[in-house]
Each structure stands twice: as structure tokens, then as C-alpha cells.
């Protein structure tokens, strides 16, 4: 059974130019049975302005949820967005990952009860990313595979083959217990499974491993991994490396979860109340805004 409604959770922090390109790619999706929730980890007002600018005539519901800037708290921002969502299937992407027009449609076809889907990404070079964002055309998502092949030959992207589609489902289940490489720049989970593991664990603060922790706990709960490669690749805009000062502590936490069998997050989505969600909702656009 395919999902009824997909909730696209877009995590962002002070990157309004990149977020604009991502939202434009979401507005161009061939499958329109989804909603968009921007999980904002404390951005300045420029981000809200960028969302409002793109939101004019946005084809699907679009909600901006904001939390105070108190360091890198992506896990909390995502939990908050999920708490405000209405979909039965969640697709997590980053606010610097541009989507091809069939991205939502591909994820809908890959959705299967008892499995989460880990997609992959294509990295854009620093120079190419800067040129595209300065042009502000928002057309990256619409460019053909042939155009992207030329960019690969020119060194603007790190690989091209992920843009190709490989049919079939059986091979996608070849590594059902693999957690490595499951990243929130392209990760899809049934909402019921997300609730079972209590969402992201907010004890992970600072960059690193909150997505691996989620994948491991899903595996502990009996939810298996399905490969989204050669169907759902995202175009990851270049960015500076995040502060990794808290990585050692996050690695320690990851080692603990790997050594045990814990399923539920210590500090997860179950703590969110309706009042908290309502207080965080900054803007709402699209067909349901009225």
C-alpha cells in the first residue's frame, strides 16, 4: 500500500539562497500529494523572508517552524516539524539539497511497510554552487541528465550515474541491516515507525550521527533498510564544513546504541505538546493556509 500523504521535512539554518532553490524544486514535483515543513534551527529573519517569497502560489501546503538558536539542534528541529506534520510517510531532506521533479513520486513507489529508504546524493562543487545561487534562476531541478553529464565532465559535480534510474525492487533489499550511509539529506520513514522509536534523539547536539542513531534504532525495532539509490538522488549544494567539536561525544553515544538493543530515543518526539507546536509555527502557506 502506498502512502496517502507524504510529509517532506526540510532542515535549514541561515542559508536562505539554498533553501529557495530547494523549495522551487519542491514546487515543481510531478507528484503533488505531499506537504512541506521547513524545520528551522534558529535562522535569522532572512530565511522567513525567503520562504514567503517562494510561497506565493505554492502548490502544496508549506509550513515554517522555527526554534531558538541554541547551537546545532537539528534533531529537535526535525522532531518539531514531524510533530506538526499530517502525513503517514516522512521524507527528510536538507535545506541545501535540490530535488529532481520525480523525487516525491519515486519515494512514493519505494515506500513499503516494514522498511525505511536511504537515498543518496550528488555533491556540487564550491564554484558551481556559487554561480548557480548567484544566478537565482531556481532551474537546477529542471536540467536534463545530459546537461548534468556535461557538468560531470567539467568537474562541477562529483558523480553522474546516481541520476540514472535502475528498475526493480529486489536488489534494493540486499543490505537490510546496514545503517552506514543513512543520512537525513535523503531518508524516508513511515510515521508509525518514527513514533515507535520516539523520533530523533535530541541528546545528540552538535554535528554528527543523529541520523545514524535513528537508523540503528529502527533496525533494533525490526524496520529494515531499503536502498533508494538510482531513483531518488538529491543535488547537494556545497557548503562549509560544520563545527565538529561535539563529534567525539556523539561518537560515544553512537557506540553505546550499537552495543545495545535500545529502540526508543531518550529525548524524542513524544515530549512535544500541541501548545509547543503551535507556538513554533511561524508561517503557513499553500492550499491549506486559508
Statement: residue 37 has pLDDT above 80: yes
pTM: 0.94
State how many domains the chain has: 1
Q: What is the pLDDT of residues 141-156, one digit of tens each?
A: 989 999 999 999 999 9
Which pLDDT belongs to residue 64?
96
Statement: residue 208 has pLDDT above 70: no
| In-domain check, residue 17 | yes
Domain range holding 277?
6-285
Q: How confident is the model at residue 137 (pLDDT cuts 50, 70, 90)?
A: low
Least confident among 81-90, 151-160, 207-216, 281-290: 281-290
Q: What is the pLDDT of residues 246-280, one digit of tens each?
A: 667 777 878 888 888 999 999 999 989 888 888 88
Q: Region 106-129: what's the mean pLDDT? A: 97
CATH number of the domain enclosing 119: 3.90.550.10
| In-domain check, residue 290 | no
| In-domain check, residue 192 | yes
255's CB contacts (< 8 A; 6+ apart) are none
Angstrom distance (rounded) from CA 13 to CA 86: 23
51's CB contacts (< 8 A; 6+ apart) are 19, 23, 38, 62, 64, 283, 285
Angstrom distance (rounded) from CA 256 to CA 253: 5
Statement: residue 290 has pLDDT above 50: no
| In-domain check, residue 15 | yes
| In-domain check, residue 155 | yes
What percent of the chain has a predicted confidence (pLDDT) above 70?
Answer: 94
Which pLDDT belongs to residue 99?
97
| In-domain check, residue 1 | no
Angstrom distance (rounded) from CA 37 to CA 58: 13
Q: Region 11-28: what's the mean pLDDT? A: 96
Buried b (16+ CB within 10 A) or exposed e, 211-224: bbbbbbbbbbeebe
Amino acid at each position: 500500500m502506498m502512502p496517502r500523504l507524504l510529509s517532506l521535512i526540510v532542515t535549514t539554518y541561515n542559508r536562505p539562497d539554498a533553501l529557495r532553490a530547494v523549495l522551487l524544486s519542491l514546487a515543481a514535483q510531478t507528484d503533488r500529494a505531499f506537504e512541506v515543513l521547513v524545520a528551522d534551527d534558529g535562522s535569522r529573519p532572512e530565511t522567513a523572508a525567503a520562504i514567503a517569497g517562494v510561497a506565493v502560489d505554492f502548490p502544496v501546503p508549506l509550513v515554517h517552524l522555527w526554534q531558538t538558536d541554541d547551537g546545532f539542534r537539528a534533531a529537535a528541529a526535525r522532531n518539531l516539524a514531524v510533530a506538526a506534520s499530517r502525513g503517514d510517510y516522512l521524507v527528510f531532506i536538507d535545506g541545501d539539497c535540490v530535488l529532481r521533479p520525480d523525487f516525491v513520486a519515486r519515494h512514493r513507489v519505494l515506500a513499503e511497510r516494514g522498511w525505511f529508504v536511504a537515498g543518496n546524493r550528488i555533491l556540487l562543487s564550491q564554484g558551481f554552487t556559487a554561480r548557480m545561487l548567484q544566478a537565482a534562476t531556481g532551474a537546477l531541478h529542471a536540467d536534463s541528465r545530459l546537461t548534468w553529464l556535461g557538468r560531470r565532465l567539467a568537474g562541477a559535480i562529483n558523480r553522474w550515474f546516481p541520476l540514472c534510474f535502475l528498475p526493480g525492487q529486489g536488489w534494493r533489499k540486499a543490505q537490510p541491516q546496514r545503517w552506514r550511509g543513512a543520512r537525513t539529506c535523503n531518508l524516508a520513514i513511515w510515521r508509525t515507525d518514527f513514533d515507535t522509536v520516539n523520533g530523533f534523539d535530541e541528546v545528540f547536539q552538535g554535528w554528527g550521527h543523529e541520523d545514524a542513531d535513528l537508523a540503528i534504532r529502527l533496525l533494533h525495532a525490526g524496520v529494515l533498510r531499503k536502498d533508494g539509490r538510482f531513483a531518488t538522488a538529491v543535488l547537494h549544494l556545497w557548503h562549509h564544513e560544520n563545527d565538529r567539536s561535539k563529534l567525539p561525544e556523539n561518537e560515544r553515544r553512537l557506540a553505546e546504541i550499537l552495543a545495545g538493543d535500545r529502540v526508543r530515543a531518550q529525548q524524542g518526539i513524544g515530549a512535544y505538546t500541541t501548545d509547543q507546536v503551535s507556538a513554533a509555527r511561524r508561517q503557513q502557506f499553500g492550499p491549506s493556509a486559508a
